[in-house]
């Protein structure tokens, strides 16, 4: 979490870096800061608790000139969000500056050592410790800054993406990464460089970028080619310059009030893009290179273990239903944070599927490394191209959902489920679990999903009215069965994270084992009651809620008459195969959370305490 960005070149750095910070604000928004330097070698440092917009206010009357700048937007780890703990941080001499995304785990030991040597600290952060360690190492070894950063980092335990410079050398920036992402944009003839946690801050300036790998350090010097080396063994790495495919419209709001709403509305095209070139319904084929190339492994897998966090974990649960039901492969779904520490049994014939929108989630990354070290084949389902998880996995499939900026995951969820559905259908067919005719029929139905989502989005106005009725509810229950149990969990997560209403998701039948005690006339209960998903049983559950005066918002299949009689509100989804309903039932739940949060005056795209990319464990 935290976003870092920087500029070194011939333009004024401030507008580039401040704009970049705004694009990176999804990564953390507890505080923001910028440091600028020009040829006069002065340090212009401005930072504040709060958002990038607060920082912009503060600098209005300040000197913001300079062709070199580093910026930071923070998601607090060490030290509360206040001005002192905001980045950039400066070394004791006032010479070295740093921005940092990550955690230095052994900072306390290092800090004590530095204090013994006379260093003082203004903040409670691990980052201020690191910049002083770099200074100490440089003085002790009388070496260049690049070498000092490298030596200092060999003493550090933790995760980092850092950018450091010396105000006396305004033509050079040192960057390094371990566990947190870092991209470098390269201007024509090395006349300018851009540094950022992802490429969004610089796509309008250059298409050429290097993504640093773990344990790499780069020396960026104006007019020179970037030099990359391994931190631990000092070996030289040939930088891999990639061409960025991202475009500017994709990372802007495009007329919507919030990124979340835009991303909800993008789902028909996002799902279609996930299909593109893969779902060849008319030829009766699912073509997925990464599965095809490893087909023996998939077909011989004794078990699939899915690891993920949050919404991606919910997609994993839908994957469990799909892969067991359609492909008849045993599946376990694990929270990556638990899996990595609980000494799990991983066999050589297991396939581990890691799901992550950002591709940077620290726990998921660690779970992948553990699975690989135990000999498992690890397949990734990621959205962000070139992300750490995409690179760490043995093989994988991108969701191609496009950038997801709203902190609450929406299109990432449905496109992850889309990939899992394609894999389940493909394996089910190849294993003979799905007959040819059923397979072909499923492909045609799957193909129609984007247009069904499109149609479903027209319920928006109705959902908005329902939201107005329940926006002040203190609690909310979400119930679903089978394929729609994970959707109930996801619906509850969406509501709590953006509206701060307490919400819980349950398998509908579990209600009578406890949660039913909560039901009274003030409790809205969202029930997913699609036609083929244990419909009669869910109807009984709805009756049980009704007899206890609960308020029912039911998601039903078009044309339903029974639930309509009992529920307070019904939202209809187009008819489809039960296995594909999560792709539809999710949509009204996303809209419901969105409208409730907006009506409660919450910051939908940047809910409190959260960040889009959780690069700390
Ligand atoms: C919820 C949400 C989070 C993420 C989780 C995993 O809306 O966005 O729960 O799903 O932090 O993130 P990724 O998918 O990037 O690994």
Q: Is the pLDDT of residue 297 over 90?
A: yes
Q: Is residue 607 part of a domain?
A: no
SS3 43: coil
Domain co-membership, 204 together with 266? no
Domain co-membership, 296 together with 209? no
Domain co-membership, 218 together with 303? no
Beta bridge partners of 228: 218, 237
| Closest ligand 1 atom to Cα of 613 | 15
Please give the residue range of the domain that contains residue 506.
259-599
Domain co-membership, 192 together with 330? no
pLDDT digits (tens, 9 = 90+) for 459-474: 999 999 999 999 999 9
Q: How far apart are CA 384 and CA 182, in angstroms?
A: 13
Domain co-membership, 244 together with 300? no
Provide the CATH number for the domain around residue 48.
3.60.20.10
Give yes or no for residue 383 CB within 6 A of ligand 1. no
Would you state the pLDDT for residue 248?
75
Burial class (CB in 10 A: 0-12, 13-18, 19+), 599: middle
Q: Is residue 88 part of a domain?
A: yes
pLDDT digits (tens, 9 = 90+) for 319-340: 999 999 999 999 999 999 999 8
Calculate how far, in angstroms, residue 198's C-alpha sits from the geometric centre of ligand 1. Answer: 17
- Of 250, 282, 312, the residue at which a domain comes to its end is 250
What is the average per-residue pLDDT within 365-371?
95
Give yes or no for residue 389 CB within 6 A of ligand 1. no
pLDDT digits (tens, 9 = 90+) for 67-111: 999 999 988 877 788 889 999 999 999 999 999 998 898 999 999
Calculate how far, in angstroms, residue 613's C-alpha sits from the geometric centre of ligand 1. Answer: 7
Single out the residue of 250, 96, 83, 62 nearest to residue 169, CA to CA: 96
pLDDT digits (tens, 9 = 90+) for 412-459: 999 999 999 999 999 999 999 999 999 999 999 999 999 999 999 999
Q: Is residue 556 part of a domain?
A: yes
Give yes or no for residue 357 CB within 6 A of ligand 1. yes
The residue whose C-alpha atom lies closest to atom 5 belonging to ligand 1 is 310
Provide the CATH number for the domain around residue 330.
3.40.50.10490
Is 2 marked active-site?
Answer: yes
Q: Is residue 591 part of a domain?
A: yes
Q: Is residue 27 part of a domain?
A: yes
Q: Is residue 276 part of a domain?
A: yes
Q: How many structural domains is the chain composed of?
A: 2
Domain co-membership, 238 together with 303? no
- 25 — pLDDT class (breaks 50, 70, 90): confident
| Closest ligand 1 atom to Cα of 494 | 7
Domain co-membership, 222 together with 350? no
Give yes or no for residue 392 CB within 6 A of ligand 1. no
Q: Is the pLDDT of residue 12 over 90?
A: yes
Would you state the pLDDT for residue 397?
96
What is the average per-residue pLDDT within 578-582?
97
The residue whose C-alpha atom lies closest to atom 3 belonging to ligand 1 is 310
For residue 178, give the H/E element and its range.
strand 172-178
Q: Given the residues 51, 111, 452, 612, select the one marked as catalytic.
A: 612
- Of 188, 218, 250, the residue at which a domain comes to its end is 250
CB 27 within 8 A of CB 101: yes
Q: Is residue 117 part of a domain?
A: no
Calculate how far, in angstroms, residue 120's C-alpha sits from the geometric centre of ligand 1. Answer: 38
Domain co-membership, 73 together with 195? yes
Would you state the pLDDT for residue 177?
96
Q: Is residue 617 part of a domain?
A: no
- For residue 138, give both structure tokens: 């440089």
Domain co-membership, 221 together with 277? no
Calculate how far, in angstroms, residue 355's C-alpha sits from the geometric centre of ligand 1. Answer: 10
DSSP string, 463-532: HHHHHHHHTT-SEEEEEE-GGGHHHHHHHHHHHHHHH--EEEEEEGGGGGGTGGGG-STT-EEEEEE-TT
What is the average per-residue pLDDT within 199-208?
94
The residue whose C-alpha atom lies closest to atom 16 belonging to ligand 1 is 356
Q: How far apart are CA 133 and CA 125, in angstroms?
A: 13
Domain co-membership, 179 together with 219? yes
Give yes or no for residue 492 CB within 6 A of ligand 1. no
Single out the residue of 432, 428, 446 nearest to residue 326, CA to CA: 428
Q: Is the pLDDT of residue 255 over 90?
A: no
| Closest ligand 1 atom to Cα of 389 | 16
Beta bridge partners of 196: 5, 183
Domain co-membership, 377 together with 405? yes
- Of 230, 250, 270, the residue at which a domain comes to its end is 250
Domain co-membership, 222 together with 289? no
């Amino acid at each position: 979490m935290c976003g870092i960005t920087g500029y070194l070149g011939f333009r004024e750095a401030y507008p580039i870096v401040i704009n970049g910070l705004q694009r990176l604000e999804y990564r953390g928004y507890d505080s923001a800061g910028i440091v600028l330097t020009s040829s006069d070698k002065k340090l212009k440092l401005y930072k504040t608790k709060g958002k990038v917009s607060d920082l912009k206010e503060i600098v209005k009357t300040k000197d913001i000139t300079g062709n070199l700048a580093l910026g930071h937007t923070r998601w607090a780890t060490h030290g509360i969000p206040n001005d002192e703990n905001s980045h950039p941080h400066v070394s004791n001499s006032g010479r070295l500056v740093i921005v940092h995304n990550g955690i230095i785990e052994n900072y306390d030991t290092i800090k004590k050592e530095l204090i013994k040597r006379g260093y003082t600290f203004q903040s409670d952060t691990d980052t201020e410790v690191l910049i002083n360690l770099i200074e100490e190492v440089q003085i002790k070894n009388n070496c260049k800054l690049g070498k000092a950063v490298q030596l200092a980092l060999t003493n550090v335990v933790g995760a980092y993406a850092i950018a450091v410079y010396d105000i006396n050398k305004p033509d050079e920036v040192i960057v390094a990464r371990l566990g947190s992402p870092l991209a470098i944009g390269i201007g024509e003839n090395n006349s300018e460089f851009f540094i950022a946690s992802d490429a969004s801050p610089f796509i309008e300036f250059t298409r050429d970028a290097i993504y640093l790998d773990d344990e790499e350090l780069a020396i960026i010097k104006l007019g020179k080619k970037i030099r990359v080396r391994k931190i631990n063994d000092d070996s030289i790495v040939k930088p891999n310059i990639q061409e960025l495919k991202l475009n500017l419209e994709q990372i802007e709001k495009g007329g919507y009030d919030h990124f979340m709403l835009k991303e909800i509305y993008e789902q028909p095209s996002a799902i279609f893009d996930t299909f593109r070139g893969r779902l060849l319904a008319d030829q009766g084929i699912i073509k997925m290179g990464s599965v095809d190339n490893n087909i023996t492994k998939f077909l011989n897998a004794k078990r699939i273990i899915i690891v993920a966090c949050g919404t991606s974990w919910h997609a994993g649960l839908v994957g469990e239903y799909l892969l067991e039901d359609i492909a008849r492969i045993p599946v376990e779904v694990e929270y990556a944070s638990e899996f990595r520490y609980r000494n799990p049994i991983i066999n050589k014939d297991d396939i581990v599927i890691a799901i992550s929108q950002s591709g940077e989630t620290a726990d998921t990354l660690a779970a992948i490394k553990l699975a690989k070290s135990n000999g498992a084949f690890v397949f990734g389902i990621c959205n962000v191209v070139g992300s750490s998880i995409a690179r760490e996995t043995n093989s994988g499939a991108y969701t191609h959902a496009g950038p997801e900026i709203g902190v609450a995951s929406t299109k990432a969820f449905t496109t992850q489920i889309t990939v899992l559905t394609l894999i389940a259908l493909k394996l089910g067919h190849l294993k003979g679990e799905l007959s040819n005719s059923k397979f072909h029929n499923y492909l045609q139905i799957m193909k129609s999903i984007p247009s069904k989502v499109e149609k479903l989005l027209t319920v928006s106005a109705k959902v908005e009215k329902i939201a107005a009725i329940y926006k002040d509810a203190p609690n909310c229950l979400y119930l679903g069965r089978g394929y729609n149990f994970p959707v109930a969990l996801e619906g509850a997560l969406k509501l709590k994270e953006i509206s701060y209403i307490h919400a819980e998701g349950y398998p509908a039948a579990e209600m009578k084992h406890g949660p039913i005690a909560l039901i009274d006339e003030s409790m809205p209960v969202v029930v997913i009651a699609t036609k083929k998903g244990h419909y009669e049983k869910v109807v009984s559950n709805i009756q049980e809620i009704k007899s206890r005066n609960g308020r029912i918002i039911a998601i039903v299949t078009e044309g339903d008459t029974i639930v309509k009689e009992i529920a307070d509100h019904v939202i209809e989804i187009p008819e489809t195969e039960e296995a594909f309903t999560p792709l539809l039932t999710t949509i009204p739940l996303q809209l419901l959370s969105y409208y409730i949060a907006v009506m409660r005056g919450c910051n939908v795209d940047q809910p409190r305490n959260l960040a889009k990319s959780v690069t700390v464990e």
